[in-house]
Amino acid sequence: MTDEFNTVSEDELHAYVDGHLSQPERNRIEAWLEKHPARAEEVRQWQAQATALKSHFASYARSDERDRSLLATGRARARTGATSRRHILGRLAAGILIFAAGALTGLYAPATIAPDRPLEIAQGPDTLPRQAQSAFLIYASEVRHPVEVGADERAHLATWLGKRLDYQLRIPDLSALGFSLVGGRLVPVNGKAGAMLMYEDGTGQRLTVLLGRNTDNRETSFRIASQGGVETFYWIDGTIGYAVTGEVPRDLLQRVADECYRQFEGSSAS
């Protein structure tokens, strides 16, 4: 009743180390730590870490003579990135990159699925989320060329990918959820032409939407697959499989998946 009553939570210990507490709260924690030497030792380690980290990186917090040129480069790149990345030469370079990355996906996806049972599994329903996650991991990391056709050519993107996929593609508008279209690219899905759309929020957080042909015409409910913090919501609707992937909270991703589902329903109906 004495000590149990006067207990201290893990969160309070962190707040104590980080200096977020008032003096009376600090006193209470200190009194408690005196009676709990193991936790006191841990807290001491955390404090030592904090001191070491602060001093280790302190010298980087400096102005540098390169700062202005860094800003100028950033400005120049931001400008070209926003407008003139659609030059022929840029296209060509992107095309080569896509080819290389596409080859990489092609090699990578089957190897992770089932090296010893290549035939049946390769068409199985769980290949979709894995391919979606590979595509996300490869393309969301791309700084310069995450997509093949940018959002400024949205209509062309829809027609082009739709034609390759043999499907009337309507590109979902996710602006209500804070995500705008970056663009899209053609990717192999189940060994056939598939489409990947990429979205980004105002802070650069990315999501991908993958669409691929599904050979065994059937339907599934919403499913989720998760690997190393990368979450995928996927579903199969007749001949098309859909997968929404991101490294975002699951409830947000689910709202994105719901929204995509709703808008894709619209495409097949029209």
Partner 1 sequence: MSHGRDGQEGSTGTEPSVPDPFEENVLALMPALRRYSRSLTRSDPDGEDLLQDCVEKVLARRAQWRGVNLRAWAFTIMTNLYRNRHRHWVQHPEVELDDELGLASEADDADPLEKLRLERALDRLSAENRSVLMLVVIEGYRYQDVADMMAIPIGTVMSRLSRARRQLAEAMKDDNVIALRRPK
* Contacting partner 1 within 210-239 (CB under 8 A): 229
* Contacting partner 1 within 46-65 (CB under 8 A): 46, 49-50, 52-65
The residue (of 50 and 265) whose beta carbon lies closer to partner 1 is 50
Residues 94-109 as b/e (b if ≥16 CB within 10 A, e otherwise) read beeebeebbeebeebb
* Contacting partner 1 within 63-92 (CB under 8 A): 63-65, 67-78, 81-82
Binder of partner 1 out of 36, 40, 125, 205 (CB under 8 A): 205
**Least distance (Å) between residue 133 CB and partner 1:** 11
Query: Token pair for residue 154?
Result: 């949205």
The residue (of 98 and 252) whose beta carbon lies closer to partner 1 is 252
Binder of partner 1 out of 6, 18, 30, 220 (CB under 8 A): 18
| Contact mark string toward partner 1, 136..155, x via CB under 8 A | -x--xx-x------------
The residue (of 32 and 235) whose beta carbon lies closer to partner 1 is 32
The residue (of 2 and 62) whose beta carbon lies closer to partner 1 is 62
* Contacting partner 1 within 165-194 (CB under 8 A): none
Under the criterion CB under 8 A, does residue 31 sit at the interface with partner 1?
no
**Least distance (Å) between residue 200 CB and partner 1:** 9
The residue (of 24 and 204) whose beta carbon lies closer to partner 1 is 204
Query: Do residues 250 and 224 lie in contact, with contact meaning Cβ atoms separated by under 8 Å?
Result: yes
Residues that bind partner 1 (CB under 8 A): 10-11, 14-15, 18, 20, 42, 45-46, 49-50, 52-65, 67-78, 81-82, 137, 140-141, 143, 202-206, 229, 247-249, 252
